[in-house]
Amino acid sequence: MSALPFFPPDLFDHDRDLLLETVRRIGTDPAQKFILGERTAAFEAALRAETGAADVVACGSGTGALGLVLRAMDIGPGDEVVVPALGCAPLAASVVNAGATPVFADVHPWTMVVEPYEVEAAIGDETAAIMPAHMFSVMADMPTLSALADRHQVRLVEDSAVAQGGVLAGVPAGRWGDAGVYSFVQVKTFGTVGEGGAVVTDDVELAATVRMLRNHGQDGRTRFVHHLVGQNSRFDEILADYQLHRLPGLAERLERRARIADFYTERFADLADRGVQAPPPGRDGRCFYVYCLLAERRDELRHHLAQRGVGTHVYYPTPLPLQPAFAQYARGGRCWPHAELASARMLALPIYPHLTDAQVEHVADSVVAFCGGTR
C-alpha cells in the first residue's frame, strides 16, 4: 500500500487541462474582467439556487466573509460576540478586527461543537451576536442556538466555512442565522485551487452592505463613488468559472465522503473503551469535511499510522482563549475543560473523495490494529 497523505497533492489533477483552458479563455477575453464579472455573478446565482438563500455574496475568503458580516451588522467597539473556545483563529480574529470583544464558550466533549448552554451563560449586556461554528464532521445545534439568539435578541452568525453541503433538520448549513459563511480554500468540502468565500443570507439589505464592503464601499454601479469605508475582498473570475464547473459534482463528492465516514464509524464503534472515540454516527447535521477521532494516546496513534503510510493531521492543538493572540480576551476565572481535552486528543484521518475502498479499509484496519483489534 503506497503512502496516503492527509492533504492529497492531486485534488485537482483531473481538471488540469480544463483549468489551463479557463485561464486562457478569461485571460484573452476582450472584456479583460478578472474580478467581480459575469462569472462571479453566475456563481452567486448558482449558490442562491443551491441553498435557497435570498442572496449570496462571493468574497475573497471565508475569513473575509466573517469580517464582512460583522461589519455589515455594525458590530464594533463596545460589543461582544460569543464564539467557540475551540476552532480556527478567524473565529476570534474577525471579532477583534471588527473592534469588538470575543467571549469564549466551551464545546461539547464528543462532538467538539459549541455547547448552547455555555453560549447562553456567556451572553451579557454587551453581547451583539453569537457565532457558532460547525466542526469537522458535525454541525452545531443550530435549532437551539437559533432559539437562543431570538430569546436574547442578538444576531446569529453561522460559521459554515467547513460545512457547505451539510443539512440539519432539512435546513442547509449557512441558512440558520442572520448570515452564514462558506470557505472555498482547497481542502474544504467545496474547495478550489485558490482562496475564496461567500456570505449566505436571507437579509437582502445585509447582503447589499456586504457587497459594497467587499469592493471598497462601492455599490457596483458607479466606480470611484465610495458609500462606505470598505476593503478588498473581491472574487476572482477564474475561480468563479471553475467553481461553476465543479458545483454539479458536489453532491456526489459529499456522498462519497459520507460513505467513508460511515465505514470508519462502524469499524471504530467498539474502540471507545480502548481509548479511541469515533464521531457520533448518522447523517443528519453532518458535513464530513474532516473525520476526527478523539484518542487518549493521540501521538502514539499518529506515529503508528505514519509507520503504515497513513497521513494524519492535528487540528487546533491549543484552544483559542489560550492562544497568545487572544489570551487578553480570556476572562479571569473562566476555563474551557472540554476544549482543552479535545485539543490534546483529536486526530484527523484522510477522508477525501477519491480515496479507494482499499485505501479506506487500510486506514480503518490500521486504527483497529493500534487498539489491539483485528481486521
Write down the mean pLDDT value for the chain: 94
**What's the rounded Cα separation, in Å, for the pair 83 and 86?**
9
Burial classification of residue 96, based on how many CB atoms lie within 10 Å of its CB (0-12 exposed, 13-18 middle, 19 or more buried): middle
At residue 334, the pLDDT reads 85
**What's the rounded Cα separation, in Å, for the pair 88 and 260?**
24
From its phi and psi, is residue 102 left (phi > 0), alpha (psi between -120 and 50) or beta? beta
**Over the stretch 264-284, which tens digit does the pLDDT of each residue have?**
999 999 999 999 999 999 999
**Over the stretch 115-152, which tens digit does the pLDDT of each residue have?**
999 999 999 999 999 999 999 989 999 999 999 999 99
pLDDT at 329 over 90: yes
pLDDT at 1 over 70: no
C-alpha cell at 139: 454541525
pLDDT at 5 over 70: yes
pLDDT at 372 over 90: no
pLDDT band at 223 (very low <50, low <70, confident <90, very high): confident
pLDDT band at 2 (very low <50, low <70, confident <90, very high): low
pLDDT at 225 over 90: no
At residue 318, the pLDDT reads 96
Per-position DSSP letters for 222-260, written without gaps between them: STT--SS---B-PPBHHHHHHHHHHGGGHHHHHHHHHHH
Half-sphere exposure of 103 (CA within 13 A, CB side): 18
**What's the rounded Cα separation, in Å, for the pair 319 and 134?**
15
Cβ pair 177, 159 in contact under 8 A? no
Residues 6+ apart with CB under 8 A from 13: none
How large is the average pLDDT for residues 20-40? 91
At residue 127, the pLDDT reads 98
374 or 58, which is more confident? 58
C-alpha cell at 48: 442562491
Least confident of 160-169, 237-246, 253-262, 330-339: 330-339
pTM: 0.93
At residue 187, the pLDDT reads 87
Cβ pair 279, 111 in contact under 8 A? yes
Burial classification of residue 110, based on how many CB atoms lie within 10 Å of its CB (0-12 exposed, 13-18 middle, 19 or more buried): middle
| Cα→Cα distances 348→135, 345, 367, Å | 12, 10, 12
Q: Any bridge partners for residue 103, and if so which? A: 82
At residue 147, the pLDDT reads 97
Strand pairing category for 155-159 and 127-130: parallel
Task: Give per-residue burial for 215-238: e unless 16+ CB within 10 Å, then b.
Answer: bbebeeeeeeeeeeebbebbbbbb
**What's the rounded Cα separation, in Å, for the pair 280 and 266?**
10
List of domains in the chain: 13-248 (3.40.640.10), 250-370 (3.90.1150.10)
pLDDT at 374 over 60: no
How large is the average pLDDT for residues 344-352? 96
- How many residues belong to the chain? 375
Report percent pLDDT > 70 for the chain. 99
**Over the stretch 287-327, which tens digit does the pLDDT of each residue have?**
889 999 999 999 999 999 999 999 999 999 999 999 999 99
Report percent pLDDT > 90 for the chain. 87
From its phi and psi, is residue 216 left (phi > 0), alpha (psi between -120 and 50) or beta? left
Cβ pair 90, 227 in contact under 8 A? no
How large is the average pLDDT for residues 100-116? 97
Strands (E), the chain: 55-59, 80-84, 101-105, 127-130, 155-159, 167-168, 171-172, 179-183, 197-201, 276-277, 291-295, 346-349
370 or 217, which is more confident? 370
How large is the average pLDDT for residues 98-120? 97
**What's the rounded Cα separation, in Å, for the pair 23 and 169?**
40
C-alpha cell at 317: 492543538
Neighbouring CB atoms inside 10 A of 116's CB total 21
At residue 336, the pLDDT reads 96
pLDDT band at 352 (very low <50, low <70, confident <90, very high): very high
Q: What are phi and psi of 295, to 5 degrees?
A: -120, 130
